[in-house]
Structure 1
Amino acid sequence: MYSLLLAIIYIAFISLGLPDSLIGSAWPVMHQELQVSVSYAGIITMTIAGGTIVSSLFSDKLTRKFGAGLVTALSVLTTAIALFGFSISTHFLALVLWAIPYGLGAGAVDAALNNYVALHYTSRHMNWLHCFWGVGAAISPYIMSFYLTNGQSWNNGYRTIGILQLILTAVLFFSLPLWKRQKDTYTSDSTTKALSFSEILKLKGIWAILIAFFAYSAVEQTTGLWASTFLVTAKNIHPDIAARFAAFFFLGITFGRFICGFIADRLGDKQLIRVGTGIILIGLLFILLPSSQTFWALSGLIIVGVGCAPIYPSIIHATPTNFGKEYSQSVIGIQMAFAYVGTTFVPPFFGWLASVTSLAIYPFFLAFFALLMLFSTERLNQLLKG
């Protein structure tokens, strides 16, 4: 039963990644058909982000009341319904409205599933599970591309992903007895404690880890979003090559998490965060090298992706150890909320900052947040020792 539930959770992580890259891959066609500006994609993504922040903050209450298995199943169902809503939409306003349940479902399942894994499985599985998220995020653009290159509508791409989510929903509902047999802290353990937001924010070391999660998410999202533009503008790299290596950044994260799975239990979460940050800084040094050869900048981008790989899973997996099993769902929910704030607001802020200065600040900007993340995690370690 342990192995069967673990396999279902792996599939669920693929599901988490499936919707995440759909808008980016389809928007060049979508905005033309909907007759809106290309910049309107930001309205949809901000709406989704708002939903994920809200549902992350309330994930603790939901998980305590319904259990991790049911919350996961209902959240995936909500996301599937939203995807079907996207598939029948013919007006931009309809997309914005469907983006609300899209975000609410994504945030709840993300927090509930990550906490369940942190409580019941090893660091190795946490890294591999997040690797499977990358598999899902990589699959959906290919599905969308299949329809677009064959002269079909982007609506079909959303419909197909929605069908896959519905199939997973059915699997999750059938698997609910397995979740109950695996000890669920939030339905069977009387020592668990519900915390208000103000109580969570008073936990020892909480602000250090929230800043760390915010900073890491800022690094990952800003790197991926602005990589191509930086390579073309600051390094004079051909747009086709730049776009390919920007995608390699995410492949670096996925591959890095696969490799980290083999060493995670041996090194431990704290050491993985340190090693990952060091690799990020090495990658940024490669990008900074004033060489006319494109090899260094392109290689540096991949290295940054590999460095990012273990950090997010390690922060999540260490939460029960750092703050206690009884508080982990509360803490992971608010950690996720801060992560979404970082991914939502920092990349546009960099765009504004680069517009008034220069895109050449890209590696320095990323290094600042990487060091802020490392300083915050080390500060947490000191506080918990004291």
Structure 2
Amino acid sequence: MYSFLLAIIYLAFISLGLPDSLLGSAWPTMQPYLGVPSSWAGIVTMIISGGTICSSLLSDRLTKKLGTGVVTAVSVALTAAALFGFSLSDRFWMLCLWAVPYGLGAGAVDAALNNYVAVHYSSRQMSWLHCFWGIGTIISPYIMSYALSAAQWRDGYRWVSFIQIGIALLLFCSLPFWKRRASGAGEKAAPLGLKNTLKIRGVPQLLIGFFAYCAAESTIMLWASSYLVSVRSVTEQRAAAFASLFFIGITTGRFLSGLISVKLGDKTLIRAGTVIGAAGILLLLLPVSSEYPALIGLVVIGLGFAPVYPSVIHSTPDHFGADNSQAIIGVQMASAYIGSTFAPLLFGVLADAAGISLMPFWLIAFVGLMISMFEWTERSVARRKRAENCSAGGGEAQPSGTEKTGEESGR
């Protein structure tokens, strides 16, 4: 049962990544077909992001009412339906309409799955599962590329929707296994609510730190190619290829961090990752004519950033308790989507005004904010746990998460 459910969760993480890179891959072809300005892709992205933020904030209530398995299966089915709807769209307003269930499904499954894995599985599995999310983001552009060469962009969306439908059917078939593995506390406690979540000591700092991480990561994803072309004089074709070095670094880094995560622990991985990421950013700043330090820097940034996201998520139940973790992780996902949506846009405005050469300084600012907030979170959690240990029965959160045994023990 353990192995079967874990395999299903790995498939679910691939399904999380599959839709993420489709729009970017297909938009150059979709845009003239739909007869809209190129910038209108941002409208679709904003609608999707709005849906993900809303469903992330509702994930605590949904998961505690329906269970993680049901929320995951329904959410994947919702994204499958939305992708199929994209394949039927011949007007821009139709894309906008289908973007709503797309975003709602993506946000709910992201928050629910991350919390379930954080509570029930080791940090090794968390890192490797996020590595599989990366595999999903790598696979889908190839599917779309084949569709564009052999058929049309609609077929790319249709094929990915069929994959999502297959994964959703497997998830529905696996529901009895999810129920057997349900946590005794995490899914039975009353929903915490946004206001009460933000009152827990350490949570606001954690959210700011997570926002900063996702802001830095998404800025690199969008602007790395432009930086290489404008600042390092790399050709556009080479820059497009070299920008994938960041994705290679982050996917490889998550696999490698999974090998050492149980021994080092979440806190050490977060600290080491931010230091390595900062070193990679400094390589972008080296005053040399060669392009290679910048290219190496992208790989190093990816390797450094790799363990941060899964380690922050995995540490949440231990820091704040399994009863509270679903609500907190839901708000974390919302803060992540806000950072990844708006930070690249704001940097684009800054780059137009002052030059794209400011990108490393922009990244350093967010990395500095990230590590300072994460360290503040650690101190706040330590103080709260000491206070809870000294007072009888008080506290606003449980001091520790669900115990993990056997293969699942992570620390």
TM-score, normalised on structure 1? Answer: 0.98
What residue is the counterpart of 2:321 in the other structure? 324
Instruction: Give the distance between the partners of 1:215 and 1:292, measured in 2 at CA.
Output: 30
What residue is the counterpart of 2:15 in the other structure? 15
Deviation of 1:187 after TM superposition, in Å, equals 7.6
User: Are 2:294 and 1:310 equivalent residues in the alignment?
Assistant: no
What residue is the counterpart of 1:374 in the other structure? 371
Q: Identical aligned pairs, as a percentage?
A: 55
Structure 2: where are the runs of 5+ without partners? Answer: 384-411
Q: Does structure 2 conserve the Cα–Cα contact (< 8 Å) formed by 1:17 and 1:134?
A: yes
What residue is the counterpart of 1:247 in the other structure? 244
Instruction: Give the distance between the partners of 2:234 and 2:153, measured in 1 at CA.
Output: 30
What residue is the counterpart of 2:337 in the other structure? 340
SS at match of 2:323: coil
Deviation of 1:376 after TM superposition, in Å, equals 0.3
Instruction: Give the distance between the partners of 2:187 and 2:108, measured in 1 at CA.
Output: 20
Alignment-mate amino acid for residue 310 of structure 1: P
Match of 1:198 among 195, 210, 213: 195
Alignment-mate amino acid for residue 289 of structure 1: L
Instruction: Give the distance between the partners of 1:367 and 1:347, measured in 2 at CA.
Output: 14
Deviation of 1:193 after TM superposition, in Å, equals 3.7
Q: Deviations over 1:318-355 (max 9, x none)?
A: 00011111100000000100000000101000000111
What residue is the counterpart of 1:27 in the other structure? 27
How many correspondences in the alignment?
383
Q: Does structure 2 conserve the Cα–Cα contact (< 8 Å) formed by 1:67 and 1:187?
A: no
TM-score, normalised on structure 2? Answer: 0.92
Instruction: Give the distance between the partners of 1:48 and 1:180, measured in 2 at CA.
Output: 30
What residue is the counterpart of 2:404 in the other structure? none
What residue is the counterpart of 1:120 in the other structure? 120
Q: Does structure 1 conserve the Cα–Cα contact (< 8 Å) formed by 2:269 and 2:307?
A: yes
Change over 3 Å in CA distance of 1:308–1:246 after alignment to 2: same
What residue is the counterpart of 2:398 in the other structure? none
Instruction: Give the distance between the partners of 1:207 and 1:15, measured in 2 at CA.
Output: 30
SS at match of 2:182: coil
Moved over 6 A (4+): none
User: Are 2:45 and 1:45 equivalent residues in the alignment?
Assistant: yes
What residue is the counterpart of 1:237 in the other structure? 234
Deviation of 1:185 after TM superposition, in Å, equals 4.1
Q: Does structure 2 conserve the Cα–Cα contact (< 8 Å) formed by 1:269 and 1:317?
A: yes
Instruction: Give the distance between the partners of 1:132 and 1:61, measured in 2 at CA.
Output: 27
Instruction: Give the distance between the partners of 1:149 and 1:255, measured in 2 at CA.
Output: 29
What residue is the counterpart of 1:158 in the other structure? 157
Instruction: Give the distance between the partners of 1:267 and 1:371, measured in 2 at CA.
Output: 22
Instruction: Give the distance between the partners of 1:187 and 1:360, measured in 2 at CA.
Output: 46
Deviation of 1:234 after TM superposition, in Å, equals 1.1
Instruction: Give the distance between the partners of 1:21 and 1:55, measured in 2 at CA.
Output: 20
SS at match of 1:40: helix
What residue is the counterpart of 2:134 in the other structure? 134
Deviation of 1:224 after TM superposition, in Å, equals 0.8
User: Are 2:179 and 1:177 equivalent residues in the alignment?
Assistant: no
Q: Does structure 2 conserve the Cα–Cα contact (< 8 Å) formed by 1:52 and 1:103?
A: yes
Q: Does structure 1 conserve the Cα–Cα contact (< 8 Å) formed by 2:213 and 2:367?
A: yes
Alignment-mate amino acid for residue 97 of structure 1: L
Change over 3 Å in CA distance of 1:374–1:188 after alignment to 2: closer
Q: Does structure 2 conserve the Cα–Cα contact (< 8 Å) formed by 1:123 and 1:317?
A: yes
What residue is the counterpart of 1:283 in the other structure? 280
Q: Does structure 1 conserve the Cα–Cα contact (< 8 Å) formed by 2:277 and 2:300?
A: yes
Instruction: Give the distance between the partners of 2:7 and 2:267, measured in 1 at CA.
Output: 27
Q: Deviations over 1:105-124 (max 9, x none)?
A: 00000000000000000000
Alignment-mate amino acid for residue 141 of structure 2: P
What residue is the counterpart of 2:347 in the other structure? 350
SS at match of 1:313: helix
Instruction: Give the distance between the partners of 2:381 and 2:320, measured in 1 at CA.
Output: 9
Change over 3 Å in CA distance of 1:383–1:188 after alignment to 2: closer
Alignment-mate amino acid for residue 174 of structure 2: S
Q: Does structure 1 conserve the Cα–Cα contact (< 8 Å) formed by 2:186 and 2:322?
A: no
Deviation of 1:194 after TM superposition, in Å, equals 2.1
Deviation of 1:188 after TM superposition, in Å, equals 6.4
Alignment-mate amino acid for residue 33 of structure 1: Y
Alignment-mate amino acid for residue 302 of structure 2: G
Q: Deviations over 1:225-279 (max 9, x none)?
A: 0000011001111111111111121111111000011001111111101011011
Match of 2:362 among 353, 357, 365: 365
1:97-112 → structure 2 map (5 Å cutoff) = 97-112=97-112
Q: Does structure 2 conserve the Cα–Cα contact (< 8 Å) formed by 1:64 and 1:186?
A: no
Instruction: Give the distance between the partners of 1:123 and 1:130, measured in 2 at CA.
Output: 11
Q: Deviations over 1:96-151 (max 9, x none)?
A: 1100000000000000000000000000000000000000000000000001122x
Q: Does structure 1 conserve the Cα–Cα contact (< 8 Å) formed by 2:186 and 2:324?
A: no
Instruction: Give the distance between the partners of 2:35 and 2:182, measured in 1 at CA.
Output: 51
Instruction: Give the distance between the partners of 1:33 and 1:251, measured in 2 at CA.
Output: 32
Instruction: Give the distance between the partners of 1:340 and 1:170, measured in 2 at CA.
Output: 27
Deviation of 1:186 after TM superposition, in Å, equals 6.0
Instruction: Give the distance between the partners of 2:187 and 2:271, measured in 1 at CA.
Output: 35
Alignment-mate amino acid for residue 182 of structure 1: R
Q: Does structure 2 conserve the Cα–Cα contact (< 8 Å) formed by 1:245 and 1:302?
A: no
Instruction: Give the distance between the partners of 2:297 and 2:245, measured in 1 at CA.
Output: 11
Q: Does structure 2 conserve the Cα–Cα contact (< 8 Å) formed by 1:49 and 1:340?
A: yes
Q: Deviations over 1:8-61 (max 9, x none)?
A: 100110010000000000000000100111111100000000000000000000
Instruction: Give the distance between the partners of 1:201 and 1:17, measured in 2 at CA.
Output: 29
